[in-house]
Chains A and B, each alone.
Chain A
């Protein structure tokens, strides 16, 4: 893959150590994300996948280790987190610092299909629309790496599929790398080049595979400790 030919990584994490009180979340975690690479991180709730993302975004301070990122980082949370006092356009422009970035506002709004709602206030948006605006806001600085923290979790099934397609198209178009934290195997398979499973306490990478090769649905579920056929097996014995 041409993306892997890139010489420097979009993110390089070495010996990451992070504790909350006495709870050690990471103790020496290493992870590389190549430029343009899309990595999905799966794992049980509370295993530390969001903490990892927040450390990369600079929202949590690691206790030890290094995190090096190249270029701008954009982040999208589970909730849109739009500023309720700014209309859609101004919300997106919030992240812009230069004239060039301000000039991108309309472009990224069009990219996520929300240019028609540029003058609306967040209270007049549906959940899916608001998340699209949040996506646009994260793109204004033309990030080399997008951090997505369960961005579809609050959406219904249909909006979820729509937004997943939109994110996929945008990642293809912008060639930005991405780290997607999710608990949904389908999200991971649809969006990522590589799937990582975090487990244990402190959390470690217990599975890493390329989509289309070793990262199959069954392999990922097995790494997550889920037996796909568990229910059927039990039903078979019962009948």
Chain B
């Protein structure tokens, strides 16, 4: 029960301060206004349109990032030579705050979907890549040796020992990557968009509609939380065998 106290308290404070008029609605809309706005947006179809647009960008960007990280992470994790050739550059790129790429991306790709998906992919890529390389490096050499002692081929060694041994780390990386993807879709949609939850944010700002802004914020929170919980369920399902304290 303890975990509900703070959110409930905040909600009551929000409701009381807006309902009493202590805080003006152009500064902060009350719960009832936000709910009404949510209903209006749902009825007009704008809600589903914007929600769908954001989810699509996150899904595409994340999928691209995951595929790229899987390939590059496997190559770098699997070969010292590839690590020497690729990893320093990738680490240098990682050190650049991802939003610093925005001007270049806008110049190169314009303000269309490609630019937004690219930005999401950049944000989601590195957590997955880093986790996968660490996972491959961290595979227990002794387990690999068991496979070798049974005469497993290289392919069998990868599929029966290395892949399952790396999966927990990869899933943790994917979970963090997905959270990053939601972070970056906001940034992408704030810059230039005519749809998406980030568009709701800017639209609300330009029209001084705090209820619209709050709807967008709440939806972002819900999406982020839902995708995070989904990834955790996936982790429990796929790698429940790990003998560690659940994070």
A185 within 8 A of partner (CB): no
A94→B160 contact, CB < 8 A = yes
Interface string of A81-108 (1 = CB under 8 A from B): 1011110000000110000000000000
- Which among B161, B239, B242 is the interface contact of A83 at CB below 8 angstroms? B161
CB-defined contacts of A58 to chain B, threshold 8 Å: 148-149, 151
CB–CB A81/B143 < 8 A? yes
Counting CB contacts under 8 A, is A231 at the interface? no
Assuming the contacts A94-B150, A94-B160, A95-B150, asked whether A84 and B243 have C-beta atoms less than 8 A apart, the reply is yes
Say yes or no for A238: interface residue by CB 8 A criterion. Answer: no
Identify which of residues 131-146 in chain B touch chain A, using a CB-to-CB cut-off of 8 Å. 142-143, 145-146
Instruction: Give the distance to chain A from B9, nearest Cβ to Cβ, in Å.
Output: 40
Nearest-neighbour CB distance to chain B for A41, whole angstroms, equals: 18
Q: Count B-side interface residues using an 8 Å CB cutoff.
A: 17
Count residues on chain A whose CB falls below 8 Å from chain B CBs. 16
Contact B160 A75, beta carbon cutoff 8 Å? no
Is B164 part of the binding interface, using a Cβ–Cβ cutoff of 8 Å? yes
Nearest chain-B residue to A77 (Cβ)? Answer: B142
Contacts of A94 in B (CB 8 A): 150, 160
> Which residues of chain B from 120 to 137 have a CB within 8 Å of any chain A CB?
none
Are A81 and B243 in contact, CB atoms less than 8 angstroms apart? Answer: no
State the A residues within 8 Å of B (CB): 57-59, 75, 77, 79, 81, 83-86, 94-95, 121-123
Task: Apart from A75-B149, A81-B145, A83-B165, list 4 A-B contacts with CB within 8 A.
Answer: A59-B148, A83-B143, A83-B164, A123-B243
CB-defined A-B contacts under 8 Å, sample of 16: A57-B149, A58-B148, A59-B145, A59-B148, A77-B146, A81-B143, A81-B145, A83-B161, A83-B164, A84-B243, A85-B241, A86-B241, A94-B160, A95-B150, A122-B243, A123-B242
